[in-house]
């Protein structure tokens, strides 16, 4: 659309929503104006000071009316700037117009204008409703878990044929406190992206006021499931397994903390296991052997309590794994609260009794006393767990320090060395078997050769002992004559 006005010697031209000013005597402006009139024109009626109000308004105000409502992720770097400038935007005064001169009388004219105007309203669960994407895109296989938030289903996506875990809220979330937790989990997943020790996020949507989150499917279940299975079978995680668990989860926490975020709800039910079959050995010729072994990968999931390290909005997680300083609303060392919870998670995997929710034993743990562990562990591992639950959060190691800790690295090297020893032993056994096989083959060939030689000798001796007529000069021949 195009419209033009002539006011005080200026041509005011609006072409496709862009307002231009040209001097009336400028030939180039007259040329552009004539081109604009070729596109199309419309008459404009003026009332009072409406002309100057249109002059002062920018295109951004039209963009606000056309921009759809979206959420602002509080965990992105851009949101930091938005939160810091939010107060200034709200304090901005209304623009006053002087009909006599058409000047902007805004008091705070020195404030910079944002390049991009974010919508003021957030989209809610209700506004996201659409046709059932769950039933259309996914085929439900089975229910694999449930919790306070909702239920988790194992599903196969019809398009790509891959298996995913779909989490669905139990009750409608629109307008409830759980809605913020659900959105917080989606925000955190979107910011964290992909990491080998964090459950991967794919998408999220709402149906009938219920939130659905599509995550990576971990075929080994949760650590809590594994602990329960061990309890039923009267076994525990071995020390090498405990060190491996501690190292892998520490790597996941290191990544989360590097994004200036904290998990705030580390516990066995929020750590998931992915088992991948890999070749256990490789022959010298480069061909993979038929033997396969399971590689266990631990992944951190359930990010509903994630918050920022700076300006946190803390919602307390499971009290059994909660650090005392968080309960006292001391949020100066929030990453160390994750370290505290990780230590108790490893203690549970070691076979300890269920942790208390309160009482004297709860306070003893917060004072640095480990719960009783029903198996013999090395003193170096026990000392590491003790320092991780130190009552002073500053004395607890960070996730960065944990992934470099000598106890955990030595365990990793030891297991690699042990695998190398076992591989060499198997190769030695294989070489011995090959030698024995060659000896057996040579012995068999020799036996066959001897048998063949014996047969030949027997045949020759039999031939020599057979009666025969002598043919030669010394043989007396009979002569028969016939006389007629």
Residue 166: give its domain's CATH number: 3.30.200.20
Residue, of 390 and 105, whose pLDDT is higher: 390
The binding site for ATP comprises 144-152, 167
265 flagged as catalytic: yes
Last residue of a domain, one of 216, 239, 255: 216
Q: How far is CA 387 from CA 242, 354, 370, in A?
A: 16, 21, 10
Please indicate, yes or no, if residue 121 is contained in any of the structural domains: no
In a domain, 171, yes or no: yes
Per the annotation, binding residues for Mg(2+) are 270, 302
Is position 463 within any domain?
no
62 and 134, same domain (yes or no): no
Residue 209 and residue 227 in one domain: no
Task: Give yes or no: residues 153 and 289 share one domain.
Answer: no
Check whether residue 271 and residue 368 sit in a common domain: yes
> Nearest Cα to 393, choosing from 344, 326, 345?
326
On whether both 309 and 262 belong to a single domain, the answer is yes
Taking the whole predicted model, whether its pTM rises above 0.75 is answered as: no
Please indicate, yes or no, whether residues 152 and 257 belong to a single structural domain of this protein: no
Active-site residue, from 244, 265, 318, 338: 265
The model's pLDDT over 13-43, given as tens digits with 9 standing for 90+, comes to: 454 444 545 444 454 444 444 544 544 444 4
| Cα–Cα nearest to 171, from 149, 153, 196, 154 | 149
Q: Tell me how far CA of residue 320 lies from CA of 135, 219, 264, 304, in angstroms.
A: 38, 27, 12, 17
Same domain assignment for residues 352 and 210: no
- What strands, in cross-sheet order, belong to the sheet with 201-207? 138-146, 150-157, 163-169, 210-216, 201-207
* 120: pLDDT strictly greater than 50: no
Percent of the residues in the chain that have a pLDDT greater than 70, as a whole number: 61
Q: Is the distance from CB of 394 to CB of 336 less than 8 angstroms?
A: yes
342 and 260 housed in the same domain: yes
Domain boundary among 198, 216, 234: 216
Count of the separate structural domains present in the chain: 3
Whole-number pLDDT of residue 208: 83
Which residues fall in the annotated binding site?
144-152, 167, 270, 302
At 198, is the secondary structure helix, strand, or coil?
A: strand
Whether the per-residue pLDDT at 10 is higher than 70: the answer is no
Residue 233 shares a structural domain with residue 328: yes
212 shares a domain with 230: no
State whether 171 and 270 are in the same domain: no
Q: Is the pLDDT of residue 94 over 70?
A: no
Q: Residue 264, by phi and psi: left (phi above 0), alpha (psi -120 to 50) or beta?
A: left
Q: Give the structural domain span for 162.
A: 126-216
* CATH number of 370's domain: 1.10.510.10
What local confidence, expressed as pLDDT, does residue 42 receive? 45
Residue 256 has pLDDT above 70, yes or no: yes
Q: Is the dihedral of CA 259, 265, 266, 272 positive or negative?
A: negative
Task: For residue 462, give both structure tokens.
Answer: 């039999």
Q: What is the distance between the alpha carbons of residues 326 and 333, in angstroms, rounded to a whole number?
A: 9
Please give the angle made by the CA atoms of 232, 238 and 243, to the nearest 5 degrees.
Answer: 130
Tokens describing residue 212: 């659905």
Phi, psi values for residue 307, rounded to 5°:
-145, 170
């Amino acid at each position: 659309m195009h419209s033009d006005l002539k006011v005080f010697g200026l041509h005011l031209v609006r072409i496709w929503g862009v307002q231009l000013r040209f001097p009336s005597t400028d030939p180039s402006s007259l040329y552009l104006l004539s081109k604009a009139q070729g596109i199309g024109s419309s008459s404009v009626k003026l009332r009072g000071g409406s002309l100057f109000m249109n002059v002062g308004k920018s295109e951004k105000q039209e963009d606000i009316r056309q921009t759809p409502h979206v959420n602002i992720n509080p965990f992105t770097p851009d949101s930091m700037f938005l939160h810091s400038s939010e107060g200034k935007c709200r304090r901005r005064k209304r623009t006053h117009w002087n009909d006599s001169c058409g000047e902007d009388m805004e008091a705070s004219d020195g404030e910079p204008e944002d390049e991009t105007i974010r919508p003021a309203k957030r989209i809610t669960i209700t506004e996201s409703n659409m046709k059932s994407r769950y039933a259309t895109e996914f085929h439900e296989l089975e229910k694999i878990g449930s919790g306070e938030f909702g239920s988790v289903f194992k599903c196969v996506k019809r398009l790509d044929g891959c298996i995913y875990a779909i989490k669905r809220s139990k009750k409608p979330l629109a307008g409830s406190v759980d809605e913020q937790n659900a959105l917080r989990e989606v925000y955190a997943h979107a910011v964290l992206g992909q990491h080998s020790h964090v459950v991967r996020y794919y998408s999220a949507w709402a149906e009938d006021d219920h939130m659905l989150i599509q995550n990576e499917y971990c075929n080994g279940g949760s650590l809590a499931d594994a602990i329960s299975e061990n309890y039923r079978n009267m076994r525990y995680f071995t020390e090498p397994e405990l060190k491996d668990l501690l190292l892998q989860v520490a790597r996941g926490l290191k990544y989360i903390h590097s994004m200036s975020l904290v998990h705030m709800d580390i516990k066995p039910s929020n750590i998931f296991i992915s088992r991948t079959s890999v070749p256990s050995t490789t022959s010298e010729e480069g061909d993979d052997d038929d033997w396969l072994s399971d590689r266990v990968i631990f992944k951190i999931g359930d990010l509903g309590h994630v918050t920022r390290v700076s300006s946190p909005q803390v919602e307390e997680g499971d009290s059994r794994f909660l650090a005392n300083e968080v309960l006292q609303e001391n949020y100066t060392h929030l990453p160390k609260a994750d370290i505290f919870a990780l230590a108790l998670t490893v203690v549970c995997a070691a076979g300890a009794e269920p942790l208390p929710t309160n009482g004297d034993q709860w306070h003893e743990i917060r004072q640095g006393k480990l719960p009783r562990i029903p198996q013999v562990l090395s003193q170096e591992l026990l000392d590491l767990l003790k320092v991780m639950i130190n009552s002073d959060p500053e004395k607890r190691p960070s996730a960065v320090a944990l992934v470099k800790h000598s106890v955990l690295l030595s365990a990793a090297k030891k297991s690699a060395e042990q695998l190398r020893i076992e591989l060499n032993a198997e190769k030695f056994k294989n070489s011995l078997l090959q030698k024995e096989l060659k000896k057996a083959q040579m012995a068999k060939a020799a036996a066959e050769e001897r048998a063949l030689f014996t047969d030949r000798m027997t045949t020759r001796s039999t031939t020599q002992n057979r009666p025969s007529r002598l043919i030669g000069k010394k043989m007396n021949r009979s002569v028969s004559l016939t006389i007629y």
